[in-house]
Amino acid sequence: MLEFLVVTLASLLAGFVDAIVGGGGLILVPALFGVFPGAAPATLFGTNKGASVWGTAWATLQYSRRVTLPWSALLPAAVAALAGGFLGAWAVTQVSAEGLRRALPFILGAVFLYTLAKKDLGRDHTRHHQGHTEALLASLIGLVIGFYDGFFGPGTGSFFVFLFVRVLGYDFLHASASAKLLNTATNLSALALFAWKGHVWWHYALVMAVANVVGSLLGTRLALKHGAGFVRVFFIVVVGALILKTGWDAFGPAA
């Protein structure tokens, strides 16, 4: 019962963070590894996806009711993200992700500093592109970050948010809402692969999924209530935490 309680609470908090700006994996994945240190990593990653996919899907639904989303651009982007996730999952079976693991803290650091320097970044929703151009760029983002999610994964939601803000001109609220759809697609592709390989503990994942949806509901309501400025601040905090976590993983004593 204690194991169920710990991972369920972690899933609730992860859903809350994920719904606002992504980064729920910072909470849930370490919790799973801490509670089940002897389990196969693939099983823990699969169980994480089995819970988190429901939270991101629920957040997408909640955002879509309150925020006007460019579905003509996002739907093909979601398909591209799904394909990218499969390709990334296949690629990680062929080559090592060690180089990316060591580069990631520096990539996130650049995102962090750029966001701090551009104080107006993502405050106003001014779409830079329309029609086929927007759909093409959104699909390219979906494919590249989807591949990254399948290949490695940490910070996927934050990368989606940043690129929607920087490349497409969305404010942080619209970017976060759009990112949820694409993150749902990448989670689905990863979950399908893990489930096919038998790497999901469904008895844990289903309970955690309920908690993840509750956390997602709370996080979505908070983001919608306080708007783009709040999401921007939350984004900076989460990216900062990602830098510390990925830097420790890449260069800490256990690296």
Q: Say if CB 172 and CB 34 are below 8 A apart.
A: no
pLDDT score, position 179: 95
pLDDT digits (tens, 9 = 90+) for 226-239: 999 999 999 999 99
Using the predicted structure, report yes or no on whether residue 206 has a pLDDT greater than 80. Answer: yes
Using the predicted structure, report yes or no on whether residue 83 has a pLDDT greater than 80. Answer: yes
pLDDT score, position 255: 63
pLDDT digits (tens, 9 = 90+) for 150-184: 888 778 999 999 999 999 999 999 999 999 999 99
Both structure tokens of 18? 């994920």
pLDDT score, position 100: 80
The Cα–Cα gap between 26 and 15 comes to 11
The pTM assigned to this predicted structure is 0.90
pLDDT score, position 9: 95
- How much of the chain exceeds pLDDT 90, in percent? 64
Name residues whose C-beta falls within 8 Å of residue 171's C-beta, 6 or more positions apart in sequence: 122, 123, 124, 125, 165, 228
C-alpha triplet 250, 251, 253: angle, nearest 5°: 115
Average pLDDT (55-76) is 94
Closest CA to 115 of 229, 247, 255: 229
pLDDT score, position 241: 92
Average pLDDT of the chain to the nearest whole number: 91
Residue type, 197: K
The Cα–Cα gap between 31 and 34 comes to 5
